[in-house]
Structure formats: C-alpha cells, structure tokens
Structure 1
Amino acid sequence: MIGQSIARYAASRPAQTAVEYSDRSISWQELHESINLRRKQLHAAAGPFFQKQIALALQDPLEQLYMFFAVVSGGGIAVPVDETLDNDSIASFLFSSRPALFIADTDAAGLAVPSLTLADIIGAGAQASVPAAFCEETELFYGACTSGSSGTPKACLRSHRSWLKSFEADKQLFPFQEKERVLITGRLSHSLFLYGAVRMLEYGHTVILPVRHSPRVFARMVVKQQVTVLYAVPTTLRWLLRHSSSPSPSVRLIITGGEKWFPADNQKIFARFPTAALYEFYGSAETSFISALNHRAEQVSPSCTGRLFPMVEAESSPDTGELVVTSPFLFSGYAEDESLSYPRSVATGDIGFVDEEGFLYITGRRSGKIVSRGRNIYSEEIEQVLMSHPNVEQAVVFGVPDAFEGEKIAALYTGNVIAHDLHVHCRQWLPAYKLPVCLQIDLLPVLGNGKINRLRVQKYYEALSKENGNDD
C-alpha cells in the first residue's frame, strides 16, 4: 500500500538520503522511524479519531510529510489543507468536508470539528506500540483538495489503488532513471506536489523540499543540489524563466500540469534547461492523469493536451461534447457527500475529443464558457492567442456581465506590451466578436499552488476598470 516501500528502503539502504530539507538530509531509516513515532503519538493523542479522516495544515513540509504517512500507515485518511488559506476559508472547507479531526500548528478555535496542535500530538508520548495497519487496495487513504481556482475547494477521496495504478502508468510514460534528485516546487497540501513527493519516494528517489517558495530559491537549489527532476506548475516555470537565465544541464525531466503550458515558451524553457524533456499532463483532482504531452518530442496545436495516459479511455458526450474519462485512477467520491459514488467514469467539464492517433484535444471548458451576443466562446482559445505574443508572460480571459452583450470578453495580462499592440496582435488570429478588452497588471492573483485564482481575477478587473473610468 501507499508508504509501505519506505520500510523496505529503511532495511535495505538505511543510511542513504530519502529527503533533503534546508540543511538536513533525512535518511531512509530516519524517515521510517519519524513516521512510526508520529503514528504512535497520533494514536495516543487522537483517541477515537485515530484511523478516521484527519485534516492537516502544517507549515513545515517535513512534518506535513511525516504526519501524512503517519495517518495513512495507521489506516486513516489524510486530508492536507492549504496552510496559506485564511481562517474563514479553512473553517468553510472543514465544515463541508467533515473530517473527524483537524491538526494545525496553532490552536484553532470555533471550528466545526475537533482540533489538535502538532505540539499536542508530540507531547502525548508514544508508549504504546502501534504497528502499521494492513490495508486493502480498495480502501481510502487520501483526500485531495480541488484547486479552488473557480470555486470553493472540495476533498476528493482516493483509494490506495488509484495512486498505485498511477505509479505504474507514469513509470511507463516518464523517462525516470535510477537515483533521481527531485525538486518539489509547491506545497505538499496540493495534490500535484504531494503526489510527486510520494511517488518518487515509492521508487527510492531523493526528494528535495524548499524552505521558501520563490523562483530565486528554486533557481539556486537546482544548481546547488544538482536536481534531475523538477515538479512545477506552469506559472512557477515562467517565474523561473524571468528570474534566472543560466542553463541548468542537470535537469533531465520537468513534469508540469494544473494549468496550460503554452508552446510559445518552449524555446525559452529549453534554453534554460537544455537537456530536459518537458512533459505537460492534463487531468484533475477527480481523474488524476488523463493525457500527457512531451513538448520536446511532439509539436502539436495549442489545443492538444497530448496522448492519452496508459490505462485511460476517453470519449466525447454526443449531446454536449463534454469529455468523459474512464480509468483506474479515478477518485471514489467527495468527502462531503453522504455516500461515496465510486464512479467508473467521470465527466471532466471540458469540451474535447480524441483523434485516431490517441491525441486528446480540449477546445473549451464548460465553466469557462462565455456567452456573448448569443455566441458560445471559450476562454482557452483566446488565452492561447494572447500567450502567443512574445512579450506576454501570463494572461487570463473571462466574461464580465454586460447589459448589451450578455457577457463582455475581458482579459488581464502581465508582460511588456501595451494593450493597443496586444489588440492588434489578437486581430490577426481572432474574429471581431472574440476580441477581448485587455488590461495590463503587474501580477495576476494566484492560489497557494501557483495556479491563477480565477475568482479574484474578475474582481481585479472590475476594480481596475473603475480606476480607469471604464465602469460601464
């Protein structure tokens, strides 16, 4: 089951490094012992809530990793919570996802669930022997939070099998080698980065966790610690390109996902990482992997997300065009539901199709559909045109309510180009009815996982419009 391989590595290679964090190197033996200790302490402190659904919001990534494995190895369900969320957002998430217990760094009063601090657990002692639980593949172990980029986050519950099958599939697809040194550039409260850390530990690689999350820190770590594999969302990769230009030949593999990577940036990223393969995967918290694209080896249209992952089937709904996915990686249901659904297929919310060669194309997203003057317009198409301008760094497109048009097409962007020139660029590729009203901004609002916060984007646009006298 998930995490059991750590005990094997602790026996076969006890002194070798499993995790690096700050100036510490944690061996496989120390990692195994730390997880066992936290499991015993958790058992003593949690009482009847042990082996239940337990939410975690811890600032220290090492403690987050220890506690995750402690909960899972004890037979419970770990639900990491974004520790950067404000108290009201955390309270709302806990109310909807209904864990049995919440563990945080500090006292959390007024919550809908019982809570403990990390100090409470460490201080509870560990006299009792609490062996690791025996779990079936079908049992639940993890609650992955949806990104919250366009709504309130939800917890997607997953079985051991869903991740074990994902491990098998990405081993077939990604060109991993022996003894990789893997930099995880995001917080372990987000599924992409937790998955990357757990998956690489599962196969005996060294996982490197940053003390601070900034492009300058990542750039230094890549060089100093001779990173070979990089897990990062596209926003982080673009930050790296802005803050460092020195080539890093040690990186052989970059895995990115969570939002769209634009091929227009390929030349820059391959100059920065001259020996790296860049794999962009498409998926969601509910589906895990759906497809992957090797940007160095395959040149396709911007709407193509790559070939379907091993073990994945996908088809378009004949009525709506919505993509429906069937795979062994699917989630088991939402934590807030009264009963689990254990779906065999999941409708993704994306409009798309698979061609004869197994390439998947996404032409729009139902939640990103803009209805302007009676026409259905998808923001992704316009974002791709904006991002194809060489001086645009980031862009996001959305609909703004309008009395005449129904919705007005609006865009916020960052980069060194004035709105007029960007409008001229768009006219080369888009019909007049798809041309957005563009406003330049210094920084786009992002979530803790680095993805653009689409809920806040529209508020930013409305505030900027009022400042510029365009409040119509």
Structure 2
Amino acid sequence: MHRITATYRTHAGNFPNKVAIQVMDESLCYRDWYERVEKTASWFNVFNTSNQTVGILMPNGIPFLQLFAGAAAAGWIAVPFDIKWREEEIQKRLALSSPFVLLTTKELYERVKHLHPNIQVWEPSCLEKVSEIDRVGQAGSGDIPFYLGFTSGSTGEPKAFIRSHQSWIASFECNLYDFHIDANDHVLIPGALIHSHFLYGAISTLYLGGTVYVLEKFSVSQTLSILENEPISIVYFVPTMIEALLREEEVIERPVKIISSGAKWEPDSKRRIPEVFRDVSMYEFYGASELSFVTFLSHRENQLKPNSVGKPFHNVEIQIRTSNGDVAETNEIGKIYIRSDMVFIGYLHPQNRTIRSIHDAEGWVTVDDMGYIDEEGYLYIAGREKNMILYGGINIFPEEVEAVLSQHRDVEYVAVVGMADSYWGQMVAAVIVGAAPKLELKRLCKQHLAAYKVPRKWFFIEEMPLTVSGKIARAQVQEWIERKEGVLLEKQ
C-alpha cells in the first residue's frame, strides 16, 4: 500500500456502513466514501495534461476532503488554498504552485475567476461526466508527491514544500504506536483543513478507518455540542481553541484525548485544561512543515518536564550538532537535525519547477532550530539560529525571553529582537502588544532570567505584524526598530 488512500477499499469491504465522515447534518459511510474517491480520481484522469497539480479553494466540508483524496488516489498533487487569503496572497501561491486547474465553489468563483486561466466550479454533477469508475492502482513508489503546502516563516514570503505519500503513511504509524489511535476512534476536527494539523488529522483518521467529524469552521458552541452529544474520543486542537473553551466554563466528563501542535501554549492554560476535560489525556508534539512529527510530550510528562518538547517518535532519530559539525554533548546547545521517513521531499523552486532537497548526504535535515537533549532523552528548544541575538559575544535566544514575558496575563503578543548597539553589538529589545506595565515585565524577567537577557529597550504597539500563517513577522518588527518608525512607542 503506497498511497494515502490505499486502505479505503479494505475499509469499504470490512465495514461498508460505518460512518467515515460526519459534517453537520451530512454523513458518508465507508462504502460511499471509497466509491466517491475512486470516481473523483477517474475524473482527474480524464484530463490529458502532464501538469497533474490541482489547486483547491474551498471551505471545510466533504468536497474539500473528496478532492484532496481523489487527487492523491489519481497520482496528482493537491494544493489547498485558504479562502481567507487576500487576492495578492492567492496570486503569490498560484505563481509558486502553477496548478493545471483551480477548483472552487460557486460562491467563491466571481471573486477569483480572473486569477488563473483555468478555474472551475466544483459541483457533484462534475462526476456525471465519468460514466464508469476506472479503478485507480494504488501501487507504485510511495515517494511520489501528493501534497504541496506553503510555509512563510518569519518573513511572510511563502515557500512551497512538497510531501510524498510515504512521508504521511509513516506519520500515520505514529498515530497507532505513539498516540494510540485506531479504527475505533471518533475524531473531531474543529479547525480549517487548509492547515496541515487539521488536514492531517482528518486524512489519518480515514486511513486508519475511524470516524472523522469536521466543523465547517471553528465554533466554541458547536465544538462543545459535538463533544457532549457524539462519542468523540480524539480532538485535534491548537492552543487558542483551548483558551476559547476555557472561557465557557463548560465541563466534559467523557474520556477525551487531545492532540495539539507545538504552538504557543500558556502554562496557565495547560494547568486549567482539567477544568473542562475531567478525564483527559493530552499529547503535544513538536514538528515542522518540512519535518512532520519530531517529538511528543504527554500530559503527565509535561508535569515532570514542563520546558521540554518531549521524546522522539518511535521512527525518528535526532542529532544535536555544534557549530563545527560535531555531535553535541548531553545538555549542550546546538543545531537540531532530524532523520526519519516522515521528512518532506523538498522545496519547489519557483523558476525552474525543480524540487530542492535540504537533506545532507546521510539523510539528515534541519530547519535551523537550536536546542539540546537531557540525560533522559528529552528535547528542549532554545530557539531559531537566525533569531539569535549576539550581546557582547554572548548568544541570547529571543524565544526564551518571550516565553517569560508571555507569562504575564496582560501580554497579548511579544516579540524579542536584537537592536543594533555600537558597544554591545546588539541589545535585547522587547516589542509588546498588551496592557502589561513595563515595571512588572522587568521584574518578571529578573525573576526568571540572567541579567544580560533582560530587555534593555521596551516598545509597546497596538497591533503585532503577523504572517499569513499567524506567526509573528519578525523581519518586519526588526525593520520597524531599525528605522525607528512612529508605530513604536518606546517606554524608558
């Protein structure tokens, strides 16, 4: 079985009437899901084109998943587009991915019809053109690409990354062996499928034969309603969703397992999770678009190792290397290298359409995160190499300072960057969104950080610049500081 859709036929035979997907008041059993994916794959194969890349610009729902899975089954590359992107953002990503066709809805068509020469409205009637299902072979190399996504990093400029079937199939094994998810689970996906965390959650559930519940868009009330009325055993969350649920002061008594990405998660929020989920087991994971899963941390381990991102998944190797390329000692900070079958193929070069791998000769990959491993094998993230502040010859990771400042309840966003200084080289500068008093923030830093890590300059702004994916646009913050633009209000 070499494709992410290869198990559908087996599921359709073993439990044809079991619900595969539930979206609001519409459901699809495995027999119908398998037939629909196969027919969609046949529809793709009707096109006589060497450019087998399809863009999908759709809201959450069965059609989105059907087109994504159908393209994968047909050997095409699927490129999800976010319906919230502005026209300029869509244009940049169309130029990067160059899909043969962009499929969208009737409601979105008028807004985007001028952006690509081949934009089509997808409707169920499209499959009427396929008179007979041409069973698509699922064999072949698992290294063939099926998914093109975008990552923007801190600059805001998108990069296109390519994933193979094998990379996700290897990730599905983590669901079984590390998260202990199987065909008996009912999995809630409350977030947008454009984000790989939620898309992966849905597709991995279907691969394993579970039942997936998809919200059209995140809603606290709908999430709570499904958790209370459906036999949900697994939920894919990001920290902001937990924050929203905590504000409702509802209680879920049923045993629930939470799978969370390693995004910013406030310690107070983690502590309060049992207030909502009385019988919860939780897994946080560290990874990247390029790396997939790297390490994971259970709720119990988080209490023992609160600053760690966990131990490696069962099929992941980690190496910490010093600046001269040597393998680091225990607790020694260096660059994190990963080797696993889950790593992506590479970045798509926008000009010549070639794929640029970042693997070294032995198959190791890094995204330039810095960290260390302790005596028990737990990984700790110090920060990004490119974000390091060089203060008088001492390396300071802004992520460490940001983690401390984020503990203040009145800090909404914080970015710590290096500010040029003729004597020290760089000084630590903190840019804050929120009502936290400067004096309280300085005291907080002095309680948890060495004196040289405490910010020397403080700037308070009304709105933090963010990338499309919601990350802080550090390059723009850095530029503001260097230009000393008026958007920054310095508090001495």
What is the match of residue 304 of structure 1?
Answer: 308
Q: Bigger CA drift: 369-378 or 10-19?
A: 369-378
* Identity fraction in percent: 27
Q: Are 1:327 and 2:325 matched, yes or no?
A: no
Q: CA deviation at 1:402?
A: 4.9
Of 193, 206, 212, the match for 1:207: 212
Equivalent residue, structure 1, for 2:150 = 145
Task: Note if 1:347 corresponds to 2:352.
Answer: no
Distance change in 2, residues 1:123/1:164 (3 Å): closer
2:161 to 156, 164, 171: 156
Deviation per CA, 1:52-75: give whole Å up to 9, x if none: 122222124321101001101111
Verify: 1:359 aligned to 2:383, yes or no.
no
Q: Distance in 2 between matches of 1:447 and 1:219?
A: 30
How many residues align? The count is 466
Question: Matches of 1:61 and 1:456 in 2, distance apart?
Answer: 35
1:33-44 alignment runs, 5 A limit? 33-44=35-46
Residue of structure 2 in register with 1:54 after alignment: 54
Q: Counterparts of 2:410 and 2:224 in 1: how far apart (Å)? A: 22
Contact 2:370–2:382 (CA under 8 A) maintained in structure 1: yes
**Residue 256 (str. 1) matches residue 274 (str. 2):** no
Look up the match of 2:284.
280
Match in the other structure for 1:267: 271
* Correspondence 1:374-385 to 2 at 5 A: 375-385=394-404
1: CA distance, partners of 2:448 / 2:233: 38
Q: In 2, distance between residues paired with 1:123 and 1:31?
A: 14
Kept in 2, the 8 Å contact 1:95–1:112? The answer is no
User: 1:448, 1:6 → 2: CA distance?
Assistant: 34
Does residue 411 (structure 1) correspond to residue 431 (structure 2)? The answer is yes
- CA shift at 1:331, angstroms? 0.8
Q: Is the 8 A contact 1:439 1:461 kept in 2?
A: no
Q: Tell me, in whole angstroms, the C-alpha distance in 2 between the residues paired with 1:139 and 1:445.
A: 37
Q: Aligned residue for 1:318?
A: 322
Per the alignment, in what secondary structure is the counterpart of residue 322 of structure 2? Answer: coil
Deviation per residue, 1:424-465 (Å, 9 max, x gap): 22221123432345667788676676x434359839987998
- The equivalent residue for 1:423 is 442
8 Å CA contact 1:313–1:326 kept in 2: the answer is: yes
Please say if 1:130 is aligned against 2:134.
yes
Q: 1:15 aligns with which of 9, 14, 17?
A: 17
Structure 1 pair 118–370 and aligned structure 2 pair: CA distance change class (3 A):
farther
Superposition TM-score, scaled by structure 2 size? 0.84
Bigger drift between 19-28 and 399-408 goes to: 399-408
Report the counterpart of residue 217 of structure 1 in structure 2: 222
User: Structure 1 residues 128 and 29 mapped into 2: Cα distance closer, same or farther (>3 Å)?
Assistant: closer
Alignment partner of 1:348: what SS? coil
Q: Secondary structure at the match of 1:186?
A: coil
Does the Cα contact within 8 Å between 1:137 and 1:159 map onto a contact in 2? yes
Q: Deviations over 1:182-228 (max 9, x none)?
A: 11122112211111111111111111111222334323332233422
Q: Is the 8 A contact 1:42 1:121 kept in 2?
A: no
SS at match of 2:448: coil
Deviation per CA, 1:362-391: give whole Å up to 9, x if none: 1121233234565432122112212334x3
8 Å CA contact 1:419–1:440 kept in 2: the answer is no
1:73 partner amino acid: A
8 Å Cα contact 1:305-1:362 kept in structure 2: yes
Choose 178-187 or 393-402, whichever is displaced more: 393-402
SS of the residue corresponding to residue 428 of structure 1 reads helix
170, 173, 179: which is aligned to 2:175? 170
Q: 1:409 to 1:84 in 2, by over 3 A?
A: same
TM-score computed with the length of structure 1 as normaliser: 0.87
Q: How far 1:419 moved relative to its partner?
A: 4.1
* 1:398 aligned onto 2:416: yes
Letter in 2 for 1:70: G
Equivalents in 1 of 2:86, 2:411: separation in Å? 28
Provide the residue aligned with 1:75 in structure 2: 75
**Distance change (3 Å), C-alpha of 1:77 and 1:177:** closer
The question of whether the paired residues in 2 share the 8 Å contact of 1:325 and 1:348 is answered with no
**Amino acid in structure 1 at the alignment position of 2:315:** M
> Are 2:249 and 1:245 equivalent residues in the alignment?
yes
The AA in structure 2 aligned to 1:229 is: I
- Aligned partner letter, 1:222: L
Which deviates more, 133-142 or 307-316? 133-142
Give, in whole Å, the separation in 1 of the partners of 2:162 and 2:415: 31
Using the alignment, how far apart are the partners of 1:247 and 1:318 within structure 2? 47
Q: Tell whether the 8 Å contact from 1:151 to 1:455 is kept in structure 2 after alignment.
A: no
- Structure-2 separation of matches of 1:172 and 1:85: 36
Question: Following the alignment from structure 1 to structure 2, what is the Cα–Cα distance between the partners of residues 295 and 228?
Answer: 16
The CA RMSD over aligned residues, in Å, is: 3.3
- Distance in 1, matches of 2:471 and 2:84, equals 15
Distance 1:114 1:177, change over 3 A: closer
Which secondary structure state, in structure 1, belongs to the residue aligned with residue 232 of structure 2? coil
Q: Check whether the contact 1:423–1:438 (CA below 8 A) recurs between aligned residues.
A: no
